[in-house]
Amino acid sequence: MNKVNIAEKFSAFTEYWSPKIAGELNGQQVKLVKFKGPFIWHYHEHEDELFYVVKGSFTMEFRDKNVEINEGEFIIVPKGVEHKPDAKDEVWIMLFEPASTLNTGNTENELTKKELDIV
């Protein structure tokens, strides 16, 4: 039952697209991740995913539209919906999602992170 300071945690790592676990509750995890550049198209078969922007902004691309998410905003991507985050500049994201969620969803490749570090 210690508090977590988000900015401190983000200062503890530099890699992009590599979510770190910052908290766990009810089978869900709070993950912190830095995005920069384009990610890949993917979806999560079983998990809805929340992206909250702590710092910066990014574009969530869907097959039928793009949504720009700015600091202090979040978006929930329902399971099954293809999406592709793209960040022109570095952006800090807090994710809420089930502990089982893989970062690349249905598309496993060299970007896939299976064993997440705790930050």
Site of interaction with a copy of itself (CB under 8 A): 1-7, 23-26, 28, 30, 47-50, 54, 62, 67-70, 72-78, 81, 96-98
Measured CA to CA in angstroms, residue 13 lies from 25, 31, 42 at distances of 23, 13, 25
Supply 103's token pair. Answer: 């970062």
Q: How far apart, in whole angstroms, are the C-alpha atoms of residue 40 and residue 83?
A: 8
Choose between 69 and 109: whose C-beta lies nearer to a copy of itself.
69
Can you tell me whether residue 82 is helix, strand or coil? coil
Q: Tell the smallest beta-carbon distance from residue 50 to a copy of itself (Å).
A: 6
Closest CA to 54 of 23, 11, 24, 83: 11
Smallest gap from residue 115 Cβ to a copy of itself (A): 22
Q: Which is nearer to a copy of itself, 8 or 115 (CB)?
A: 8
Nearer to a copy of itself, 71 or 89 (CB): 71
Residues 6+ apart with CB under 8 A from 88: 58, 59
Select 23 or 84, whichever has its Cβ closest to a copy of itself.
23
Q: How far is the CB of 42 from a copy of itself (least distance, A)?
A: 15
